[in-house]
Structure 1
């Protein structure tokens, strides 16, 4: 079996979250989805598990972080600067928040952060392979 990371995220509205992640380019994985959770594939090795709050409570009784706080940020490598910008626009148009933190542009690296409808943070990063060796 390929080494795979499964990222489980609690969500308030499963269908809205599925629509959001589809708009960002994630593909639904119906084999790992049901009425209480949905698997969304970023790649063969990265699966995001969107889990309804009642189902989440079967995983842990630990409290969810208060709204407006951050316990983690996940990062996605993107093919181009334009694709980073497009993902930000898709996030804003589908219930998320673009530019959840200030953008960073170092020439060889370009990064913008977004938040999904539940506030989970994602960095979208493009890096020029030739230019990154100049740092």
Structure 2
């Protein structure tokens, strides 16, 4: 049996979050779209649900954390090249995000990060397996 992984993120302003991720080139699955949330398509098998905080609070018995004050999770997106990493983070910053950390080059892996409008931390990376150190 194939397994999938689903993540649901609370957002303060659903429309603002939709606009932000559209600026980055993402799309949304209309089958999983309502006034309460949308499915942000990562690829054919992966989506992230962006859900209005008012609805999200009905899904959990514990309070919603403020990701600007406590780390809830780190989200990572793989890209096909270093150029795509840079382009994604630059688009995010132009759309209102802040830099999460400066670009980091480990030779086999290049990464950069941004913090979205709600404080969620997104790492963007490219890994060149041919450059992976041999053990």
User: Would you call these one fold, judging by a TM-score over 0.5?
Assistant: yes
Deviation at 1:90, TM superposition (A): 1.0
User: CA shift at 1:24, angstroms?
Assistant: 2.4
Once the two structures are TM-superposed, the CA of residue 115 in structure 1 deviates from its matched residue by 1.0
CA distance in 1 between counterparts of 2:81 and 2:51 reads 30
1:130 — aligned with what?
130
Would you say the 8 A contact 1:37–1:50 is kept in 2? Answer: yes
For the residues of structure 2 that align with 1:124 and 1:93, how far apart are their CA atoms?
16
3-state SS of paired residue (2:6): strand
The root-mean-square deviation of aligned C-alpha atoms, in Å, is 1.7
| Distance in 1 of aligned mates of 2:57 and 2:126 | 36
TM-score (norm 2): 0.90
> How far off its partner does 1:18 sit?
0.9
The answer on whether the counterparts of 2:57 and 2:63 sit within 8 Å (CA) in structure 1 is: no
Q: Contact 1:25–1:42 at 8 Å: present in 2 too? A: no
Q: Deviations over 1:92-131 (max 9, x none)?
A: 1112112x12332112210111111001111101011211
What is residue 27 of structure 1 aligned with on the other side? 27
Matched residue, 2:57: 57
By how many angstroms is 1:71 displaced? 1.9
The question of whether the paired residues in 2 share the 8 Å contact of 1:12 and 1:118 is answered with yes
Tell me if the contact between 1:10 and 1:52 (Cα under 8 Å) persists in the aligned partners: yes
Gaps of 5+ in 2: none
Q: Mind listing any 5+ residue stretches in structure 1 that lack a counterpart?
A: none
1:92 is matched with: 93
CA–CA distance in structure 2, aligned partners of residues 95 and 6 of structure 1: 25
2:80 pairs with 1:79: yes
